[in-house]
Structure 1
Amino acid sequence: MAKGKRVGKTRGATPLGQTTPLIERAYAFANKAHSGQKRKNGDLYINHCVETARTLIEWGLDESTIAAGLLHDVVEDTPVTDAELKKEFGEEIALLVDGVTKISRVKYRGHEREVENLRKMILAIAQDLRVLLIKLADRLHNMRTLDALPAPKRRRIALETMEIYAPLAYRLGMQKISGELEDLAFPHTYPSEYRWLIKKLEYRYEAMEKYLDRIRPTVEKAL
């Protein structure tokens, strides 16, 4: 899955616990490119790039992939061009970022008949598997911070995650990530069902607490 140089445990001038000179350069470049940009929740935009890269480190990816994770939005969301990125970081990283940018332009419009075609389209764009892994890391952090967006946009992104990205993660053998994406998407995709489920779980928890309170004296006496 991973290519190239693995990341060691050298500490450097990034918020990441593990880094290399390439990753430090990528962080500095992304930090400058995203300077002044903030996300809807008020966080500095660079924090999203760092969290994407941190996830890629946790997954054991190589330094080029982690660097591309830091840089994944510079072409889409800043004045930086493909040519500038290629000149600074080489063709490999530029191609990874370009792949993520192209996938980000693929939008799910809520039509069920589109789902499988969109999955195939994303897989075709991501000729290098690392492109899809960067996108999954990006989507995972976006889902973890989804609450800051307006409700209609939350639902669209959550539905896209449920129908497109969670199944793709599952196909890659990343069942834990697929499950987390589904869990994060569910409250926004099916809010009524989510509220019903929470109430049901709270009721069962309270019932279990009462039952344990009733039997506790008997158990303590037996012990």
Structure 2
Amino acid sequence: MDYKYGYLSLGVFLFLIWILFYVLRKDLRRKLIKVSLYGGLIGVISEYWYFQDYWHPYSILGRKVISPEDFIFGSTIAGISVAVYDIFFQKKDEDFVINNKKTFGIMFLISIASLFLFNIFLGFNSIFVSSIIFISLALFMLTKRPDLIKEAFLSGSIVLIMMFVVYHILFNMIFLDFWDKCWLLANTKYGITVYGNIPLTEMIWYFTWGSFSGVAYNFASGKKKIPL
């Protein structure tokens, strides 16, 4: 199948998972929608860095342009990651401590500054910079909230496994040449693939993102997980 539809298909695949989560847990719907809206916005903004040195995916609007796929991907992966622990382990949120919204806001600003510094000015690839930022922020939150350690590790692991399966279906069975055409790291020392056509950098990104986003909501809102 034409690789030009690979990015759109990834978004559709994730949207189906998002819908499943939405249907399964009525109590998570408000959080899913709220986090997904923020995630969609971040998905659009983040392409400023990823277009520089990581990939040039085709979209329904063309190539190397902000597109609906960016919002769809950002919103769905954010919603899935923040809810995956609740879904798989039948947990819900409960007020626990005073929220850390101001601290989280500062963390966000530091992340943006770090991307500019290490990617734009110092030239480190955006996929590595963003992955290091995610895991660094996760570790920082865990020093403040060690009760979230299990949640961070399992969220990251489940997101990784889930996306590995999705990528296997899409890029080992349908869009076989997608990464060869759209991935700027292809045929470089960082263009390592695993199990066929699955970029190692993608899997690293998903684990670090899942570990970060899996605890970010509870850290910022001051909540903890309890059984349903």
Q: Identify the structure with bigger relative contact order (alpha carbons < 8 Å, sequence gap 6+).
A: 2
- Shared fold by TM > 0.5? no
State the structure with more CA Rg.
1
If the length of structure 2 is used for normalisation, what is the TM-score? 0.30
What TM-score, normalized to structure 1?
0.30
Q: Which has the higher strand share?
A: 2
